[in-house]
Chains A and B, each alone.
Chain A
Amino acid sequence: MLPFVLYFVTAVVTGFHVYTLLSFAVYGVPVNLLELLSLVGSFCLLIAAYVSLFRPHAAARWALLACLVMWSFYAPAIAKIVRTRWAKPAAVSQFMGATVGATSKHLFIMG
């Protein structure tokens, strides 16, 4: 039952995740083709979960294919999150300090 549980839970969680992202289309967010592809992958994984009950080896191949399809959405998304987290934000304003008897000054760097 291990492959069934693993494929089934993964299919449901990823499917629900992508569905929530797609539902933002109601608010005018453009639909990403990769999201739709990932949803198809989740559905294929659900089928693989059922097939794994009687043909585990064939189901594994089917599941691998479905997972690779889903990675086409998740891999770029994860890469972007990691890049954003590690990126050093550009300074838009830098405090230059104040000298005695003078007013403080700020150097603004635009762009």
Chain B
Amino acid sequence: MILPYLAAVLLALATAYSAVVSFRQKPEGESARPSWIFPGRTNRPTRIFVGIAMLILVIGLGMRFAANSRNSAPRSFRFLIPEGYRGWVRVEFEIPGAPALPAERGQTVIKIPPPGLLRTSSPEQYGWARDTYVFYSSAGLRPIPDSGPARLIWGKINGEETGPSGKRKYEEFFVGNEQQYKDQIDQPKPKDSSWDSHSPVAIP
């Protein structure tokens, strides 16, 4: 928390110092002795040493930052939904004993079973990522549009709730067309343990 204040103070100091040196007449002749405002030139070996040290530091910091951003970048989800499924889909994360989510081509695969609820021991991933949705059946995979006029994915939310079975992190979204989604908004969603006996919402 001190970093922004430290940065502002240092910036003020550097600005003041560089302004004084820039606008002050450079001393000539006898009075051109090194002072704190106009320090003398450093010798060649020092310049070379400092130059190399700076180069190593900048490259090192750059590589570290690049590695950090690569590690912290969230992996997107690929939701596999049963063909013809209409209704709410719910994924519960960090459930002890539940299977972990597999990864495929840089994406975490979430295969939703026919009841629409999946429990996994994997943690939820936060951040900016582009999730993809596909219907699966014995005939293969078919992409689900999540935008545009033919959109079938609605109301995606994630959160954390405390219930009789403890704290649960979850992600939910609705699969269906716009009218089906609007019709479902007013109806209560199945929650927590009640989802076990839940079957896909019957939608005309």
Chain A residues proximal to chain B, CB less than 8 Å:
1-4, 6-10, 13-14, 16-17, 19-20, 23, 25-28, 45-46, 48-50, 53-57, 60-61, 63-64, 67-68, 70-71, 74, 77-78
- C-alpha gap A61/B20 in the complex (Å): 10
Contact flag A57-B10 (CB < 8 Å), given A2-B39, A19-B65, A49-B54: no
Please, could you name 29 A-B residue pairs with CB atoms under 8 Å apart, sorted by A?
A1-B42, A2-B36, A2-B39, A3-B17, A6-B14, A14-B7, A14-B10, A16-B3, A17-B7, A23-B68, A25-B128, A27-B127, A46-B54, A46-B58, A48-B18, A53-B46, A53-B47, A54-B47, A57-B26, A57-B38, A60-B17, A60-B21, A64-B18, A64-B19, A64-B22, A71-B15, A74-B11, A77-B4, A78-B8
User: Separation in Å of the B51 CB from the closest CB of chain A?
Assistant: 6
Residues of chain A with a CB closer than 8 A to B21's CB: 3, 56-57, 60
Residues of chain B with a CB closer than 8 A to A55's CB: 41
Residues of chain A with a CB closer than 8 A to B26's CB: 57
Q: Are A27 and B128 in contact (CB under 8 A)?
A: yes
Residues of chain B with a CB closer than 8 A to A6's CB: 10, 13-14, 17
Contact among B6, B22, B51, B74 for A60, CB-based, below 8 A: B22
- C-alpha gap A60/B58 in the complex (Å): 21
Contact among B10, B36, B38, B74 for A9, CB-based, below 8 A: B10
- C-alpha gap A16/B62 in the complex (Å): 11
User: Separation in Å of the A10 CB from the closest CB of chain B?
Assistant: 4
Contact flag A56-B38 (CB < 8 Å), given A13-B7, A23-B69, A74-B8: yes
Residues of chain A with a CB closer than 8 A to B38's CB: 56-57
Residues of chain A with a CB closer than 8 A to B7's CB: 10, 13-14, 17, 74
Majority secondary structure, B binding face: helix
Contact among B3, B13, B126 for A10, CB-based, below 8 A: B13
**Which of B6, B18, B46 has the most chain A CB atoms closer than 10 A to its own CB?**
B18
Contact among A28, A68, A78 for B15, CB-based, below 8 A: A68
Contact flag A53-B41 (CB < 8 Å), given A10-B13, A26-B127, A68-B15: yes
User: Separation in Å of the A85 CB from the closest CB of chain B?
Assistant: 13
Residues of chain A with a CB closer than 8 A to B15's CB: 64, 67-68, 71
Closest A residue, CB atoms, query B21: A60
User: Separation in Å of the B52 CB from the closest CB of chain A?
Assistant: 11
User: Separation in Å of the A56 CB from the closest CB of chain B?
Assistant: 6
User: Separation in Å of the A24 CB from the closest CB of chain B?
Assistant: 10
Q: Are A50 and B51 in contact (CB under 8 A)?
A: yes
Residues of chain B with a CB closer than 8 A to A16's CB: 3
